Amino acid sequence: MTLYFREAVATGHRLAVMLHGRGSDEEDLLPLAFVFGADTRVISVRAPFSMHPGYAWFVSDAGQIDESVAALNALIDQQADAGSVILLGFSQGGLMACATAVHRRARNIQAVVSLSAPPLTSHATDKPLRDVPVFWGHGRQDPVVPFDRGQTMRKTLEQLGAHVHARDYAMGHTISPKELEAIAQWLTHIDAGG
Class of domain 5-191: alpha beta
The answer to whether residue 110 scores a pLDDT higher than 80 is: yes
Q: What is the dihedral of CA 48, 31, 97, 147, to 10 degrees?
A: -110
- pLDDT tens, position by position, 131-175: 899 999 999 999 999 999 999 999 999 999 999 999 999 999 999
Query: Per the omega criterion (within 30 degrees of 0), is the bond before 119 cis?
Result: no
Domain residue limits, the chain: 5-191
- pLDDT tens, position by position, 113-139: 999 999 987 766 678 898 899 999 999
Which are the contacts of 36, defined by CB distance < 8 A and separation ≥ 6?
A: 9, 16, 42, 86, 187
